[in-house]
A and B are shown apart, each in its own frame.
Chain A
Amino acid sequence: MRSSIRARLAAAAATVGLIFAGLTPSFAPVAAADPLVLRAGTDQDLQVLNPFNSILVVDFEVFTLNYDLLVNFGPDLEPAPGFAESWTVSDDGLTWTFKIREGMKWSDGTPATSEDARWSYQLALDADAASQASEDGYYLAAGYLEPYLLNAGVSAVSAPDPQTLVVETSFANQLILQAYFPILPKHVWSEYSMDDIAMYSETPFLNEPPVVGTGPYQAAEWKPGEFIRYVRNPNYWGPKGAADEVILLTFEDADTMVQALKTGQVDYVRGVQPAQFDALKTEKDIVAVEGISNGYSEIAFNTKGNTEGYGGSTSALTDPKFRSALGYAIDTAKLVETTLGGYGVPGDSVVPPFHTRWYDQPDNLRPFDIEEANRLLDEAGYARDGDGDRLDAEGNKIVLRVTWPDSEAEHETDAQLIQGWWEQLGIGVDAYVTEEGKLLEDLLPPVSDGPADFDIELWGWVGDPDPTSLLNVLRTEEIGNFSDSFWSNERYDELFLLQRAESDEAARKAQIKEMQQIAYDEAPYLIMYYDAELHAYRTDKFAGWKDQPTEGGTPLFGYGSGGYNVLTDATTATGIDSQLPLMLAGLGVALLIIVLALVVRRRRRPAATEEE
């Protein structure tokens, strides 16, 4: 009964093989009547379920599933019924009357009425009042939501009866119909103070699951860093999407995410890399959709240069002719090709082409022409010295610091290309990355007690369905808030207020066109490109995917939750039994090891038989 070393080692190997075989599941993890689950993957991680903390796209997506907006975004971003089913406006355009749908219920069964809408909107007004009263301002958490109401000039809100909401605005405008502000359940939220809701206090309101809302799906389970799971809201007033549950998954690695889509473990992905996108276009049962981004990436100048109090390195930065000349030395097409892998659109106007109704390509477009750039710089009085370096009005060599936040690592490629181009103009470039927190500090102007210590920064903006928010960042009034270029133009500011209140579309278009031209000519920003949104989804489980907007949009992660409600069930059979390949794999491994062990044992007896 002697077992050779070989046999014993083979037995050890077989044990390991059996450990692996044992790992194959012999029980199915879910019961027979499975809920139909829509799984969507993204590379962004959700921070908090309190919608006021929303900063990233995923944050917005999360709260529009839970909560209705007063007015929803329709298939082409036009106003559509939301919490309110219809609305009228007074003749002077200042008073809006919204009819709140009858018989609506919150997901916990409590009736939903105009009082909930009134309470939610009043929060924004109270925050604004606190902001005016305090020296430094008061904002609800991240402060991205209440501007939707304040920019629309909302001054008062009342609920004369449970089905009517009256909103008064201080100037006539249409922005109230595009307000990305959730209607919250008063009976849940009014238990908390405004400081809790704004997440200022020691006990911030985190809004943990189960969440109560009137949206189509309610958050039921949240594993930070992994996934958030929604279940269907049984009391939802709108169309029923095919999915009973929706799970949004966070992936650290884009490859893993795309693999998961290919194997059907995930039904939708956002944030595909350009190389993967090409490969996905030819996959069976998968549709790869390239959406136009509602935003851009820009070269932002510190237009105050080295003026008193500002930390720019040269006065040249204050000169629009200088900035515009530099614009001739930027090959936007090359940037799209190199940085974005070909998926994007070369930039020009500060209003992205996504806004089909408002975008106008500026006149006198700057082509990529180094010679012309040099000529313009000579003309503007920036002479070269003996070494070929350009000098500014004070006779100093112009060396521009170009930086970008570490959260946008792709700009490194842009910076390298820019450096190469501008060197040909005799302008030195010092390119380096800055940690995001530090960069935000450096960008603060003197009015916010900041150093404004930068020359050029590369960053980006994402807009709303209405172009007002993007136009806003270049306003004089926004210096100390959203303006990182500190640019100031009276006519631009004037036009901003006009277009915001203008109800005649043709007139508004003309005003916005003029704004785009001014911004293009003076170039506080040089727009590099408009990114593409690369998404992909499977067609063998869900059908009815509808791009929003129809031209150049994506089915999910758009505006509002409509994309989820139009999905239909596309599964024909019960699907492949995924247990079988697994068990076969495990058994195969075990069998292989056992066979190996037997073969090894049988092939050669140990040469030295030790029995004496």
Chain B
Amino acid sequence: MRGSYVLRRLGVAGATIVAIVLFNFVLFRLMPGSPERILLRGIPNVSAERVEAIRDRWGLNDPVLPIVIDDAGVRFAADNQFFKYVTATAQGDFGLSFVARGQEVRDVLGQHLWPTLLLFGLGEVVAIILGLALGAYSGWRRGGPIDHIGNGVSLFLYATPYFLLGMMLLLVGAAIGLPTFGMLTAGASYPNIFARLGDLSAHLFLPLATVSLGLVGQYAIVMRSSIVETLSEDYVTTARAMGLRDGRILRAHALPNALLPTVSLIAINLGYVIAGAVTVEVVYNWPGLGTLTVEALGARDYPVLQGVFLLLSITVVLANLGADLVYGLLDPRVRT
């Protein structure tokens, strides 16, 4: 039944997210270096009194877990960091950033989220169009010149790490006068919305090219092999024998079947794309989640890192959930 399939998928996704939230809590408390020292970074002459005040303010003096075992025996501590963390996270409150004084983590994340969405969303779209088109054509005309060239180029792009690709494009882009860093020209004022969009797209060109080229290779290759495999199926030979046009066969019969592995790939890829986000964004100074992660790592801004970790893990889980549901749509066999 379609319904139970969906419910099962949702259940698994939900459980995974809960596990991630719990793991998140443990992970960041295992980090070396006490958080209060980090809050007071670089300041050599800090009084013990001030350290205590910081610990109190950030709730670091509360017991970590609900069960406390000490000299007085075993007891339940209602006021503990774990409960506070879980209730806060459930309400979407990720705390305050260590580095960006006074700013809530969710605000910091929000500011950095949409540049990443823009870059990678558009990059995925372009990569999907180009990759699937190239892969389908290569698979359909296997052995032809486009196939050989396409395969070679795809492999090269697939193998090249994002940052290397980024640096190569940076050199090319710099040579032809494209802006090479940032999302907008720093401090520029725009007479109208079109000028602003124009500046944004000029800055978007190189990072977008890097992301799409980085992704196109794998989509093309997978699509190609999946088409090749589909074409060897009996029903395609039958369709051809029946006199159906090439285009119709490809579109109505081969493609939908060949799309299945590619959909999985796109979903799985999201996790790697996020890793790639860091390197591409750093190369181009693109103010997205990748740059935020690098800065937060360097500054040991644990609340922000916790928020980023949570956000990205949940995104991957949801993407996989989406892939499962789309799979269900595409392939009737999976729904039962």
Interface, chain A (partner B; CB < 8 A): 2-6, 8-9, 12-13, 15-16, 19-20, 22-31, 37, 39, 45, 47-48, 55, 134-139, 142-143, 199-200, 202, 204, 206, 221, 223-227, 229, 245, 247, 249-253, 255-256, 259-260, 262-263, 265, 407, 435-438, 440-441, 448-449, 480-482, 576, 578, 580-582, 585, 606, 608, 610, 612
Contacts and interface: CB of A to CB of B under 8 A. Distances in A.
B185 interface: yes
B29 interface: no
B34 interface: yes
Contacts of B177: 263, 576, 578, 580-582
A135 B49 contact: yes
Q: B57, B129, B246: which has the most chain A beta carbons within 10 Å? A: B246
Q: SS class of chain A's interface: helix, strand, loop or mixed? A: loop
B37 interface: yes
Contact of A142 (B37, B42, B176, B185): B42
A60 to B, nearest CB: 13
B15 interface: no
A26 B130 contact: no
Contacts of A15: 129
B318 interface: no
A229 B126 CA distance: 35
Interface stretch (B62-70, B71-79, B81-89, B193-201): B193-201
Interface stretch (B5-13, B203-211, B258-266): B203-211
B78 to A, nearest CB: 24
A225 B186 contact: no
A224 B248 CA distance: 54
Residue from A134, A255, A606 whose CB has the most chain B CB atoms within 10 Å: A255
A16 B186 contact: no
A583 to B, nearest CB: 10
Given A435-B300, A437-B38, A136 B47 contact: yes
Interface residues on B, range: 35 or more
Given A24-B202, A255-B167, A256-B283, A437 B185 contact: no
A37 B187 contact: yes
A259 B166 CA distance: 13
Contacts of A449: 48
A225 B130 contact: no
6 contacts: A5-B140, A135-B49, A139-B46, A223-B186, A448-B48, A585-B178
B247 A2 contact: yes
B33 A225 contact: no
B178 A437 contact: no
Contacts of A19: 126
A437 B181 contact: no
B32 A435 contact: yes
B50 A136 contact: yes
Interface stretch (B97-105, B228-236, B268-276, B327-335): B97-105
B191 interface: yes
A384 to B, nearest CB: 36
Contacts of A2: 245, 247
A249 B181 CA distance: 10
Contacts of B194: 26-27
B246 A55 contact: no
Interface stretch (B151-159, B286-294, B306-314): B286-294
Given A136-B49, A223-B287, A252 B282 contact: yes
A247 B186 contact: yes
A554 B37 CA distance: 34
B99 A265 contact: no
B97 to A, nearest CB: 10
A39 B186 contact: yes
Contacts of A200: 50, 53
Given A6-B137, A142-B43, A256 B180 contact: yes
B295 A45 contact: yes
Contacts of B136: 9
Nearest to A7: B247
A479 B88 CA distance: 42
B250 interface: yes
Q: Which 8 A-B pairs have CB atoms at the shortest separation, nearest pair first?
A: A136-B47, A25-B198, A437-B33, A610-B245, A437-B37, A581-B177, A23-B201, A438-B33
